[in-house]
Chain A
Amino acid sequence: MTTLIEPETTSAPPIHERNAWEWIKHNLFPNWWSGLVTIVLLPILLYMAYRALRFFFVTGQWEAVEVNLALFMQGTFPRDEQWRLIAQILTFALAFGIGAGTASASARDRAEDASLAHERGSLTDTLKRMWSMIAFIVLLLVFATTHDPGSPISPFLVVFGAVLAGYVGYQARRLPRRLRNLGWLLTLVLLVVGFQVVSGFDSGGWLPLGIILGSAAYSVVPVERFESRWLRLLVRLAAAAVVVLVIRAVYGAIDSTGIGWDEWSGLHLTLLVSAIAIVLAFPLGLLLALARRSTLPALRYMSTVYIEVIRGVPLITLLFMGQFIIGFMVPAGTELSDVTRAIVAMTAFAAAYIAEIVRGGLQALPSGQTEAGQALGLAPPTIMRRIVLPQALRAVIPAMVGQFISLFKDSSLLFIIGIVEFLGVRRIIHAQEAFRGVGIAETLVFVALGYWAFAFAMSRESQRLERRLRVSR
């Protein structure tokens, strides 16, 4: 409505208030043929809108979604273990809150250092970015209200708890500056804990927290009083080892088993599997991109072959190969679940694309940047880490997020290899006696809305990131 082209004037453009009639005349009937198009298209569009609204509110048989809402969300996840999912939602909400609060605070710190004005992101901005997800959650609550899914804890309480946990976590922005790293550490730890609340704190699950807290111990242990460099390193390593051993002992002591991802399904599986694949594919893709530009021929050729082979194969083929071929590549007796195989295939697939995206960013960077670093006498890894990668990655954020969104949507292919993810729940529902052939369009629309809500939020988040990092400058 505000994108009118104003006539160019030398003075400041006058603010011209249009009334509705003028707006219609200017936009819909500027000349005779545009008017004709309007006259033809407008009734068609209005009729389609009418049909769509009628479908949503009058004719749509939404019972298929209402009754099976829990099935869409968590699939066949054991209902008596449902507290694990609720605990996971709350822990993740807290982790995201702390992460957002810490990120906001460090942006403020940076602005202070550069003595720039810092504009704090407002709640409205956040809501604008997240509105699709909020709308989806509201839709879920509406469906949950119209049909009680028999959940022991009301979905409203869960949503309220998650918002509260996120808000409490966000208060991390008030922490003093020296505790900033603690905020990041807490975010990571909570993400791992939130994951393991469902998958179980069994004795083998110490590794992720061991790595995170071990590296933290390695970097924070006070070593200034030691003169010798080797002694310092030794003390750091010892601190890390102690922490790792303690964590290992704690896990060994708890050794409580949970529900592994083989038994996850529905939207829960879709979100977690996509997140895991994205998190794993990014570093792998980065390494592949660097390897492809490496001066070592062996590394370069291996990376090139990998990227070109994977990019030449459709994802669904990789998924099928994962189901039927990975078994021959691992040592006999190793049991890999279908979900693990699918994650491996999705990661391998996405990494090849990310590698090419990152390579594009690396190539776009003028060689002067590297040369300047060399002229300053910086070591090659430092040049890569401090000069090249930050600029290269910043330039490719849109393409990268596009790849992540596409990976998220591609997770629906798992349905074809028999994993019951969000889309696959539909097949189960329409085998139920009550919904055989009933509500087919409705469940499809619901699933589409679900995917859209998350994909759109990701896209808005990437736009914000672009703005903040001024990609387009």
Chain B
Amino acid sequence: MKSIKLLAVFTALMLVFAACTSDDSGDATTTEADGGGDGGTDTTEGDDVDLTQTDTLADVRAAGQIVCGVNDGLPGFGVVDADGNYDGFDVDFCRVVAAGVLGDADAVEYRPLTAEARFTALQAGEIDLLIRNTTWTATRDGQEGANFLFTTFYDGQGMMVPASTGFTTLEDLADANICVLSGTTTELNLTSVFNARGIPFNPVVFEDNSQLRPAYEEGQCEGWTSDASQLAAFKSAIEGEGGDDQFIMAEIISKEPLGPVVADGDTNWAQAVEWSVMATVQAWEFGLDSSNIGSYSGDNPNILNFVGSDNFDPGLGLAPDFAVQVVEQVGNYKEIFDRHIPAIGLQLEGSPNNIWTEGGLMYVPPYR
């Protein structure tokens, strides 16, 4: 009798757990079906196929949306507004890929990810695409099963000091306290560069920029090292709020190329993502932007290929007019840049992110 009761209790408990899982799997299907319109129920089967042969492009088309891993708390690159909408430079490139692959820039499900979880999510197939200010390094390319694509933003680690200190080079910071975030490549770069040059320093380590900034403003450290894009954002914020003038040293102590990442082993998907992203630069080079690409009436054969008005199909698995969709719905590279990056205090002119014809690094292979 006792054992029967115990068995009953256990069964009930099992049922409760089953309830939770079934709820959940139901929801997962739901979410995908919701945004995608049709074919949402196929996703579960699609994921099973995933394990043997990966065809993300077909899966994404079946689901009707891409799942994009983003940052939800990086000014300029990935933020969430008061209405819960994602916005930012990286977020716009998620939209670019959705517009290129699916023809609808809004067909994106955003998945906010921590720095630690991003590659796991990519490997596990939880996301189709990772655009989360992720630096392209050899180790990550080699060990994380990640395939780094066209660099959308050339960043670099810089050093900011209060202008009143008069420091202009790293050597001036000998024996200084330097604020840095813990567990980032930033911390690693700081240590290696200062040790290599034999400059003694004390790192003051923080978990979060919202703790680091007040500490820096209170003078707990003489220098603040981080990606130049972030420093510029904080410089303008501090000065804008009436704080002390800040100075960002010209010296860049690391290369930080940021761009979209997909999982290794699915070339078709990687190509589709890469050419969607590169279309924004190509359009810029052609002088096309969201206002005029749809109404191009010239006779430049390269541009006619690019906008697909002659139904040119290079076999990338993208619609002939994908570039028009990308640029009309999201914009060319310069439009995307201007929408987000000057606001955080960085300019296009003179930076590596300028187009190659003006001395920058934005150079894409010809579309023909």
Contact = CB atoms under 8 A, between A and B. Distances in A.
Say if A and B assemble together.
yes
Contact of A211 (B19, B21, B48, B120): B19
A340 B30 contact: no
Nearest to A379: B1
A327 B117 CA distance: 13
Contact of B82 (A67, A202, A211, A283): A67
B51 A437 contact: no
Contacts of B18: 207
A87 interface: no
Contacts of B366: none
Nearest to B6: A381
A324 interface: yes
A427 B210 contact: yes
Interface string A425-462: 01110111100111010000000000000000000000
Interface in B193-230: 208, 210, 213-214
B208 A202 contact: no
Contact of A287 (B13, B51, B82): B13
Nearest to B87: A432
Contacts, number: 165
Given A70-B83, A431-B72, A438-B241, A207 B1 contact: no
Interface in B55-88: 72-75, 78-84, 86
A208 B22 CA distance: 10
Interface stretch (B92-100, B232-240, B264-272, B307-315): B232-240
A203 B31 contact: no
Interface string B1-15: 110010001101101
Given A420-B112, A432-B81, A440-B210, A287 B9 contact: yes
A68 to B, nearest CB: 5
A258 B30 contact: yes
Contact of A260 (B31, B79, B208): B31
Interface stretch (A16-24, A72-80, A88-96, A183-191): A72-80
B24 A431 contact: no
Contacts of A340: 20-21, 24
B27 A428 contact: no
Given A70-B83, A323-B120, A437-B234, A257 B30 contact: yes
A440 B214 contact: yes
A261 interface: yes
Interface string A316-333: 000000011001000011
A260 B30 contact: yes
B26 A205 contact: yes
Contact of A204 (B9, B26, B114): B26
Given A332-B51, A379-B1, A440-B214, A431 B25 contact: no
Contacts of B114: 416-418
Nearest to A430: B210
A452 B210 CA distance: 22
Interface in A338-389: 338, 340, 343, 379-381
B72 A428 contact: yes
Interface residues of A, number: 62
B29 interface: yes
Contact of B213 (A76, A280, A437): A437
B79 A437 contact: no
A78 B84 contact: yes
Nearest to A426: B210
B2 to A, nearest CB: 5
27 contacts: A71-B82, A71-B83, A76-B86, A78-B84, A150-B83, A199-B23, A202-B27, A202-B29, A207-B15, A211-B12, A257-B29, A258-B27, A276-B20, A284-B13, A333-B47, A333-B51, A336-B24, A337-B27, A379-B1, A417-B114, A417-B117, A418-B113, A420-B112, A428-B80, A430-B210, A432-B81, A436-B237
A-B residue pairs, 8 tightest by C-beta:
A260-B27, A257-B30, A418-B114, A204-B26, A431-B73, A207-B19, A76-B84, A202-B26
Interface of A: 67-68, 70-71, 74-79, 149-150, 199-200, 202-205, 207-208, 211, 257-263, 276, 280, 283-284, 287, 323-324, 327, 332-333, 335-338, 340, 343, 379-381, 416-418, 420, 426-428, 430-433, 436-438, 440
Given A283-B13, A381-B1, 13 more contacts: A70-B83, A76-B84, A200-B30, A204-B25, A211-B15, A262-B27, A333-B48, A335-B25, A335-B47, A417-B114, A428-B72, A436-B75, A437-B213
